[in-house]
Structure 1
Amino acid sequence: MMSENSINEAIQKAAQKIVEAKAIVITAGAGMGVDSGLHIYRTQNDFLDSHPVARELNLSLPDLSNVNLFQTNPHLAWGFYGQRWQMYRKALPHAGYQIALEFCISKRKRKGKGDQYFVFTSNVDGHFLSAGFNPSRVVEAHGTIACMQCLDISKSKEVWAVPSKTKIKVNKQTMLAQDPLPMGPPGSEHPTLARPALRFYNDKDWIDDPFKKKEEEMEAFVSKIKSKMQPFVVLEIGAGDRDPRIRVRSLGESLAKENDLCTLIRINTNSEDVAVPNPEKNIAIQLPALLALVRLEAKLKTSSLLNAN
């Protein structure tokens, strides 16, 4: 557990690095959404406590987040994701998103150029886009619950935004979605069963072309920064390492390891997850996402750092 003095020192150091940076790469995991009221599941019991029907059915998160379920029991699959979709639509991005966006925009204002940031997130809630981040600068590594695709990709490989009038009615007692289930693509004469455009467990049919293209653009952006020998920061927020699908942590660590001019700023509440490699160079802040961002903003506003560049 970090002491308050250690956290203050880390906030000061991180604020300085943000000011000095010519660009920012934000990497975010599930912990970023906690202050928006979204759940984070560290254990199976955490998940089951939030989904009592799943407990009754003896189903785990991997069981319900498996593309095979859409094939064998589409009403249950859409019941689970219908609830999640409704939850994400109701939740609003917390104030930390706007603070992080201001950090990013400050780089554009300072140089009078285009956006000097990228976001790489494993979250599927779409909150970075809702908060006003440039869509062309947000890599949603696992897709987004705001989009759909066909379950049978031999029918179509189109990825479409969930129509605004879409309603997924779910029986809360059984967690089964009611008919009609989502179909698509829109406008098709022969629509077929749809699924969220997310990367599930055991998923070979996720259409990742739109997301992969943005990731390639992010890699080109980082390469350009490195070629110019410019300092930049990786602001990693709320990323754990328990899910092997999530590359948020490895991305930040690899960038910091490969580049002397890159500083990793890691924000996490968990004492194990917050530890950083090479702590003389990189910075750990053991706080919730929103609180850490608020304190960073306050440090920038109340110190001479604002005029450092």
Structure 2
Amino acid sequence: MIDQAYDRAAELISCADAVLVCAGAGIGVDSGLPDFRGTEGFWRAYPPYQRLGLKFEEIADPVHFADDPALAWGFYGHRLGLYRATVPHEGFEILRSWGARVFTSNVDGQFQKAGFTDVAEVHGSIHHVQCVEPCTDEIWECTFDVEVDPSTMRAVGPLPSCPSCGGLARPNILMFGDWAWVPHRSQAQLDALTSWRRSVRNLVVIEIGAGTAVPTVRRQAELASAASGALIRINPREPEVRHGRGVSLPSNALEALTALASSVDRTSR
């Protein structure tokens, strides 16, 4: 059955005029990145927060930039360093070889690091920053490093500042309960993706590592493939496709993409 699923998915890719990748945190696991699945998973990745009793949705709250900036930048500064040091796995190159465009909830910049230029980051990017207030809607690239004490996960030393007002800067990431996020960079990416989708008739959607807990990516993948049912869902835990409208591949990203690439090569001969 699984071989038939890969053959069907390969046929969809081979016959498509364009490929859209809809990616959640699961795509980065094979590169060594944590996916923060559940509180226990988050605490395994960041033990100091377990000692503090802080869940992911609690630490990823913009209120900390006002109440405890060293705590806030400790979390995001550590992630910034982690993402900069991470090398995208070979599955990214497979997707790029198919000319894929990307919609992702990830803020890690791994697609750009792998050479993609058309990426819609619906939740923003850790590699860009904005004013905490914000005093302006300006967004600028993150060119600094943040020193973090790994035992406490708190930032040490000077914190990033806004060049306009001199106040605190923060990542241009949509956080939980975030009313101060400056959205125009992400919105421009989303508008470009929407325009492209309207120009494509025979589209296949490859959804990777996107669960149901935060359904943003799944919703986009299902909407984009609604007319044709050309959806390939790669997910080791929640691979089911509703009403049989697509192909389910219950695997990790790298394993599935490697097998898919082989199947596409066979189909193309």
The answer as to 2:104 corresponding to 1:128 is no
Q: Is the 8 A contact 2:78 2:148 kept in 1?
A: yes
Correspondence list, 1:71-90, <5 A: 71-90=66-85
SS, match of residue 27 in structure 1: strand
User: Who is 2:247 aligned against?
Assistant: 283
Q: What TM-score does the superposition give when structure 1 sets the normalisation length? A: 0.84
Q: Residue 193 of structure 1: which of 137, 154, 168 is its match?
A: 168
SS, match of residue 33 in structure 2: coil
Segments of structure 2 that go 5 or more residues without pairing to the other structure are none
The answer as to 2:62 corresponding to 1:67 is yes
Q: Is the 8 A contact 2:203 2:225 kept in 1?
A: no
Q: Which has the larger radius of gyration?
A: 1
Give the Cα separation in 2 of the matches to 1:80 and 1:255.
34
Give the Cα separation in 2 of the matches to 1:177 and 1:102.
39
Moved more, 194-203 or 209-218: 209-218
Give a deviation string over 1:244-298, Cα, whole Å, max 9, x none. xx411011112222x13x501000001xx2100232x410101100010001111
User: Who is 1:237 aligned against?
Assistant: 208
* C-alpha deviation, 1:152, in angstroms: 1.1
Segments of structure 1 that go 5 or more residues without pairing to the other structure are 1-5, 105-116
- The one-letter code sitting in structure 1 at the alignment partner of 2:171 is P
Q: Residue 141 of structure 1: which of 122, 132, 136 is its match?
A: 122
- The one-letter code sitting in structure 2 at the alignment partner of 1:296 is L
* C-alpha deviation, 1:179, in angstroms: 2.1
The number of equivalent residue pairs is 269
- The one-letter code sitting in structure 1 at the alignment partner of 2:193 is M
SS, match of residue 39 in structure 1: coil
- The one-letter code sitting in structure 2 at the alignment partner of 1:77 is A
The answer as to 2:54 corresponding to 1:54 is no
Q: Residue 22 of structure 1: which of 13, 17, 23 is its match?
A: 17
User: Who is 1:252 aligned against?
Assistant: 221
* Deviation >4 Å, runs of 4+: none
Q: What TM-score does the superposition give when structure 2 sets the normalisation length? A: 0.96
SS, match of residue 231 in structure 2: strand
The answer as to 2:140 corresponding to 1:160 is yes
Give the Cα separation in 1 of the matches to 2:20 and 2:243.
19
Give the Cα separation in 2 of the matches to 1:255 and 1:85.
31
* C-alpha deviation, 1:162, in angstroms: 0.7
- The one-letter code sitting in structure 2 at the alignment partner of 1:167 is D
Identity %: 35
User: Who is 1:306 aligned against?
Assistant: 268
SS, match of residue 192 in structure 1: coil
SS, match of residue 183 in structure 1: coil
Q: Is the 8 A contact 1:63 1:69 kept in 2?
A: no
Q: Is the 8 A contact 2:36 2:45 kept in 1?
A: no
Q: Is the 8 A contact 1:253 1:277 kept in 2?
A: no
Give the Cα separation in 2 of the matches to 1:130 and 1:255.
25
Give a deviation string over 1:19-40, Cα, whole Å, max 9, x none. 1000111100010000010001
Give the Cα separation in 1 of the matches to 2:166 and 2:87.
32
User: Who is 1:169 aligned against?
Assistant: 147
Give the Cα separation in 2 of the matches to 1:283 and 1:55.
38
* C-alpha deviation, 1:131, in angstroms: 0.5
- The one-letter code sitting in structure 2 at the alignment partner of 1:160 is W
* C-alpha deviation, 1:148, in angstroms: 0.6
Q: Residue 38 of structure 1: which of 33, 57, 71 is its match?
A: 33
